Structure 1
Amino acid sequence: MNKLLTLTIASEIFLLLPFLLIFFTNRKTKKNILLLLFLIIGGAPLLYLAIDDLNSNYIDANIGLGLAFMFTWIYSVIALIIAIIIVVRKKRKNNSSKD
């Protein structure tokens, strides 16, 4: 398998994990639609540029593809931090309501 394809799939899975965590923590449908929109915003640039790079054999370095990877990784880390905060708050709220 191509190294670019493997890295793209791994990056998209890393992007998907925080959104799945938030999705399973949250049961509101309106927020789930918003989560889907944020997931598309985070993953679309990388998918587009990776497919473009696989279809076109560029001789020079593809700076846009590198920026798309960086954007996706930073977006994934921010989403993961937000997901952890949401899960911790929800857990504390559930623990305090049981007392």
Structure 2
Amino acid sequence: MSNLVTMTIASEAFLLLSFIIIILSTKNPKRNVLWVILFIIGAAPHLYLAIDHVTNDYMDANIGLGLAFMFTWVYSVAAFIIAIILLVKKKRDNNISQEQ
């Protein structure tokens, strides 16, 4: 069970880090609400199934928990790629404005 808790915390932390980078690199504060909603969509299934697995004693393999981990990891990688793209775009825009 401790391995499950460690993996859950690590997965959610990477997802949170990706969305923090996205929020810090966007210029429009109204759009941050959209990013928070997308973060909740990505984090909620994983947290729900991890808590469900800890509270219920399953005799067989919990396939839903594995799928939730995979969904969160793919979602985290996609969010991290978007964060890197937005960060590079923001730096490029700042360099262009400083040159003029």
Aligned to 2:32: 32
Q: Deviations over 1:12-52 (max 9, x none)?
A: 00100111011122242211100100000000000000000
Q: Which runs of 5+ in 2 are unaligned?
A: none
TM-align CA RMSD: 1.1
The answer to whether residue 72 in structure 2 is matched with residue 72 in structure 1 is: yes
Take 1:66 and 1:30, find their aligned partners in 2: how far apart are those partners?
34
1:89 and 2:75 aligned: no
Native 8 Å contact 2:26 2:86 kept in 1: no
> What code does the residue aligned with 1:37 have?
I
Once the two structures are TM-superposed, the CA of residue 98 in structure 1 deviates from its matched residue by 1.0
Which stretches of structure 1, 4 residues or longer, exceed 6 Å deviation after superposition? none
* Counterpart code for 2:62: N
TM superposition score normalised by structure 1? 0.95
Which whole-Å deviations, capped at 9, do the CAs of 1:46-68 have from their partners, x for residues lacking one? Answer: 00000000000101000000000
Aligned length: 99
Give structure 1 stretches of 5+ with no counterpart. none
